[in-house]
Amino acid sequence: MAAVAAALLASAGCGGGEQPRKIARSPCPRAIAAVLGDGARSHLEDRAPSVLTCTYRAAGTPATAVRVTVDSAPQALTRFSRGVVERAQAHLGDRRAELPVEIGGVGVGAAWVAAPRELSATDGRRLVTVTVVTGSQPRATATAVARAVL
């Protein structure tokens, strides 16, 4: 019986050594890190079947941090349009910084809201929301990030 146990232990150790570790590749779009500059790092916040949320941080003066949600659920353009209209209706009478301002040159539709430093944009297939948490020139940053995704 001891000989059988020794043979089993010896065969369990065979196999050519340690297997190479697989490194998980981040689902967060690399193009966004490229927009933010050298050393920008991504962090996966949440992943659902049709929604991906990532945070990106880049060193610099001042440091930049953005939160990006990419939603690939159906009817992105319809949901984008409704969202812009509903936000405008909800904030009528509030300060202008709470109202969405449509901007061109980003997908088939984009709207910037200054107070939360947030840009929503769509290419008709995806709905992208970019929130600039820290950093200067938030609208320009959000626009560049949305373009990189779309």
- pLDDT range class, residue 9, cuts 50, 70, 90: very low
Number of domains forming the structure of the chain: 1
Render pLDDT for 18-77 as a digit per residue (tens, 0 to 9).
Answer: 665 655 577 898 899 889 987 899 999 999 999 999 999 998 768 899 999 999 999 999
pLDDT, tens digit (0-9, with 9 covering 90-100), for 84-121: 999 999 887 778 899 999 999 999 999 999 999 999 99
Is 105 part of any domain?
Answer: yes
Boundaries of domain holding 68: 27-149
**DSSP secondary structure letters along 82-132:** HHHHHHHHHTTTS-GGGS-EE-SSSTTEEEEETTTTEEEEE-SS-EEEEEE
CA distance 37 to 77: 30
59: in domain? yes
**So what's the pLDDT on residue 4?**
46
Query: Considering the domain boundaries, does residue 14 fall inside one?
Result: no
Q: Residue 101 domain-assigned? A: yes
- Whether residue 12 is contained in a domain is answered as no
**7 lies in a domain?**
no
